[in-house]
Amino acid sequence: MYRYDEFDHEFVQARVAQFRDQIERRLAGDITEDQFRPLRLMNGVYLQLHAYMLRVAIPYGTLSSRQLRMLAHIARTYDRGYGHFTTRQNIQFHWPALSDIPAALADLASAEMHALQTSGNCIRNISADHFAGAAADEAADPRPYAEILRQWSSVHPEFTYLPRKFKIAFTGSERDRAAIQTYDIGLHLKKDAAGELGFAVWVGGGQGRTPILAKKIRDFLPQQHLLSYITAIIRVYNLSGRRDNKWKARIKILVHETGAEEFARQVEAEWEALKDSELKLPQADIDAINAYFAPPSLPERPEGDEAVRLARLDSKSFADWLNQNVTTHRHPDYAAVTISLKNIGETPGDISDSQMDAVADIAEKYAFDEARVSHEQNLVLPHVARADLKTVYDALVEIGLATANIDLISDIIACPGLDYCTLANARSIPVAQQIATRFASLERQRDIGELKLNISGCINACGHHHVGHIGILGVEKKGAELYQVTLGGSADENASIGDIIGRGFGPDEIVDAIETIVETYLAIRSDAGERFIDAYRRLGPAPFKEALYAGEAKAA
């Protein structure tokens, strides 16, 4: 794992001291809210409905046990005993007092954590595949490159006042688990025919009120050119991106209006001047960062096969969890475990302080001291010996985190919505809870198969509704909540934006509507192997529209 060097330590400490001073001056009334607001946002502090909110960065979603315990400590000491993991692999605390935030940030800094670049028009915390370094299908671990970009972009003066926020994501596999096509820049680490590492570069994706998928502007960028090429992209954006209209300021609008080909041409022209400059990465630097991410040495544990076989026979619930929450590892004696934070009827992505502590203990004992946050708002233990899976499962059962529902309909992504968020039009969490409860039966969920259901409480799309197989968007109509449904979205390597299916549904209709959609799919799928998204792509919206609205048309 990456460890802070002396510079990082000093930098983060200095930032805590600076922000402490700014908060003190704000509380003393020496600076106004208008002066303070941009400063607090640069340090991850928002005001929500009930209180302030502190968003803590989790670079590329990677946490050590010590860091996870620190998050538990923050939840316990400065908040209400829980945290909320977000679709950008960060964590939010929903109740801190402004006056406590300097102490919280100082504590976080002691565990090499901070809230920098979790807000504001800068390069935001960079995300990556949550199975990075563990996935069997990966060309290489993309996190060292994410870390190189992080070091280079942190408070980079040229990129601190961009036209709008800027989000970058990495994957190291063909199978995209990091939703890179929904990002301002998505980078796919891969090998060329000669075995050299480089990136496919995707630009101009984004969600919000204008969802657009990124365009691939380069199929292979040799790794040493990472910084120069990204700089070229952001320079073109910084120069030509719109600053007159917040809703047109993201790079997706620039790429869309300029055209991907012309945009790529401008980037290449800019890059010509930069590519042999000091931004070219020396192999020694890449190697040095790579060394921080060296995988743990994984001892042979061949007894795992037999242990898993026996435990599977012994316990149906363990077998279910194994089928649903355990993923193939590049090492045959190991597995990656996903810990669902989607217990039926609870808030997606929420976790208590004691659960965080317990997961940290499990990670320390059985997973080489490492945990990950996934953009689906779950936790991951990337390296667990198969021989230890049953022990890990039992420990998760103890703390109520053994729900076997990964990628199923109850593994819902949901933003905080109107229960917490000032920008919300409708609640997200209760809708997620009710849908999960309706489909609580694991047998039924498994019969339905892979189904990504995503919910946002307003058009900002923090809950990724545009790219859910089923997306739900909360709007406000005549003072009441209304839920609009989109179908056919996807955030993987075959990304697509969902289509709005028709008129919206009230809070007491939405769960039935979702059930109607699911039952329609079950009735029309070609066989049990055809996933919801595949059936939708084959048949289009018509059967679903018919099932949802036909009665109305006839009545009208």
What residue ranges bind ligand SF4 (CB under 6 A)? 415-417, 421, 423-424, 456-458, 460-463
Rule CB under 8 A: say whether 455 interacts with other proteins: no
Q: x/- contact string, 73-102, with ligand HEM (CB under 6 A)?
A: -------------xxx---x----------
Binding marks (x or -) toward ligand HEM, 45..64, rule CB under 6 A? -x-x----x-----------
What does the per-residue mask of binding to ligand HEM show for 137-166, with x meaning CB under 6 A? ---------------------------x--
State how far the Cα of 418 lies from the Cα of 458, in Å rounded to an integer: 9
Site for other proteins in 96-125 (CB under 8 A): 97-99
> In sequence order, what are the residues at sequence separation of 6 or more whose Cβ sits closer than 8 angstroms to the Cβ of residue 173?
129, 131, 135, 137, 138, 139
CA 372 and chain centroid, separation: 11
User: Is 431 near ligand HEM (CB under 6 A)?
Assistant: no
Site string for ligand HEM, 229-258 (x = CB under 6 A): ---------------------x--------
Cα–Cα dist 64/383, whole Å? 13
Contact 345, 433 (CB under 8 A): yes
Residue 347 contacts residue 433 (beta carbons within 8 Å): yes
Partner from other proteins, ligand SF4, ligand HEM, none contacting 33, C-beta within 5 to 8 A by type: other proteins
Instruction: Select from ligand HEM, other proteins, ligand SF4, none the partner in contact with residue 430, using the beta carbon and a kind-dependent cut-off of 5 to 8 Å.
Output: other proteins
The residue written with tokens 């941009």 in the block is: 38
The Cα-based distances of 29 to 23, 45, 96, 340 in angstroms read: 10, 18, 20, 44
Given the structure tokens 């936790």, which residue do they identify? 379
Which of 148, 401, 421, 513 forms a contact with ligand HEM (CB under 6 A)?
421
**Tokens read off for 367:** 């997973």
Q: Which does 479 bind (CB under 5 to 8 A by kind): ligand HEM, ligand SF4, other proteins, none?
A: other proteins
| Distant-in-sequence, close-in-space partners of 301: CB < 8 Å, separation ≥ 6 | 333, 334, 385, 386, 387, 388
Q: How far apart are the first and last CA of the chain?
A: 62
- Report the sign of the C-alpha dihedral through residues 384, 390, 395, 396, in that order: positive
Q: How far apart are CA 373 and CA 404, in angstroms?
A: 17
Nearer to other proteins, 49 or 524 (CB): 49
254: part of which helix (H) or strand (E)? helix 251-258
Token code pair at residue 305: 């096969």
Q: Which of 238, 434, 460, 516 binds ligand HEM (CB under 6 A)?
A: 460
Residues 503-522 that bind ligand HEM (CB under 6 A): none
Binding site for ligand HEM (CB under 6 A): 46, 48, 53, 86-88, 92, 164, 167, 206-208, 250, 415-416, 421, 423, 460-463
Residues near other proteins (CB under 8 A)? 26-27, 29, 32-33, 47-52, 80, 95, 97-99, 347, 418-420, 422, 424, 427, 429-430, 433, 479-481
